[in-house]
Amino acid sequence: MKYSDKVIPPTPQGITRAAAALADGALIGLPTETVYGLAANANDGQAVARIFDAKQRPRFNPLICHVSDMARAKQIGIFSSAAAALAARFWPGPLTLVVPRRPDAPVHDLVTAGLDSIALRVPAHPVARAVLAAFGGAIAAPSANRSGRLSPTRPAHVIADLGEAVALVLDGGPCKVGLESTIVEMADDGIRILRPGAVTEDMLAAATGRPILSNVNNDQIKAPGQMASHYAPQAPVRLDAGSAKPGELLLGFGAVEGDLNLSPAGDLVEAAANLFAMLHQLDQRQPTAIAVAPIPNRGLGKAIHDRLIRAAAAKDLTS
């Protein structure tokens, strides 16, 4: 298969082209340290509408707004001292803060889907930072996959799913984190995790000393995009598998070898970075199911579990 000529290197010219495409109302594939984003000018309603159209989101879920720094973030959201402390500790990085939206925020209403809160993030990836600097404004960017599909951690994943929709994809290499950002909001009684990610419960607790209220196993879904069917490959997914049944392919971890192994050393950081890319790879071989070896449910393992449970829930696999 021909590697699309829409994938361009992040040279100064490439960054300039990307910023110009955003200013023009086009969509681009933007590398971040978590996953690739489908990026648009957050203040351009038509451009933001194109994101929903391209992803075929079943409804208008609010999008994360990416900004270059705290000064920009404060033009868009209202930061309590607790929220500001988290930003100071974890930005730039894989943490998204949901804060009250400023009435005069230079962001189109479609980004927030009519909510009076807004999700903000300062990404750490040097290419994302270069584009934010060159573009100047806020960038709305969900993960660059069709709704319900796996998140992209390589330019080729973006092209395969959304090649028609993007003007270009900046090649930022494989995503280092490989899982979407941790999303939190401030509550009166602590910090609520709306989506687990690389900034773990322990890290949040250590940074703030405040109680962590986990939303992960709640029936009440606080992040509207956190539907059970997210992050699914085409093949059904079977969890906690010690071996593959006939027709299945096994995604290993640690000593459970598998057809591919998330981390032979049993390292959760390595496993997170490999998760989506390896699910993509196994899925392309069209197995009857993808069996996944047990992953420890601690630290970053909680975020991996969250994504795997959603992948498994998409198709009802009883056994």
- Pull the structure tokens for residue 59: 């409804």
Contact between 147 and Mg ion by CB under 5 A: the answer reads no
Q: How many CB atoms lie within 10 A of CB 307?
A: 24
> Among 112, 143, 261, 274, which residue sits at the site for Mg ion (rule: CB under 5 A)?
143
Q: 181 touches which of ligand TXA, Mg ion, none (CB within 5 to 8 A by kind)?
A: ligand TXA
Q: Residue 180 CB, nearest distance to Mg ion (Å)?
A: 6
Q: Is 32 in the site for Mg ion (CB under 5 A)?
A: no
Using CA atoms, how far apart are residues 113 and 314, in angstroms rounded to an integer?
25
**CA distance linking residue 281 with residue 160, whole number of Å:** 12
Q: What's the min distance (Å) between Cβ of 263 and ligand TXA?
A: 20
The reply on whether position 96 binds Mg ion by CB under 5 A is no
- Tell whether the torsion through CA atoms of 289, 217, 294 and 95 is positive or negative: positive
Q: Of 188, 149, 200, which Cα lies nearest the Cα of 302?
A: 200
Instruction: Report the nearest approach of ligand TXA to the CB of residue 1 (Å).
Output: 25
Q: How far is the CB of 78 from Mg ion (least distance, A)?
A: 25
Q: With respect to ligand TXA, which residue has the nearer C-beta, 59 or 285? A: 59
Query: Helix 155-162 vs helix 268-284: angle between axes, to the nearest 10 degrees?
Result: 40
The nearer residue to ligand TXA, 150 or 235, going by C-beta atoms, is 150
* 303 vs 12: CA distance, rounded Å: 35
Min. distance of Cβ 30 from ligand TXA in angstroms? 7
Q: How far is the CB of 255 from ligand TXA (least distance, A)?
A: 30
Instruction: Give Cβ neighbours of residue 13 (< 8 Å, ≥ 6 apart).
Output: none
DSSP secondary structure code for residue 148 in this structure: T
Using CB distances below 5 to 8 A depending on partner kind, what does residue 44 bind out of Mg ion, ligand TXA, none? Answer: none
Check binding of 200 to Mg ion (CB under 5 A): no
Footprint on this chain of ligand TXA (rule: CB under 6 A): 32, 34-35, 37, 61-64, 96, 98, 112, 115, 117-119, 121, 141-143, 180-181, 183, 194, 223-226
Among the listed residues 31, 48, 62, 45, the one whose alpha carbon sits nearest the alpha carbon of residue 132:
31
Binding residues (CB under 5 A) for Mg ion: these are: 143
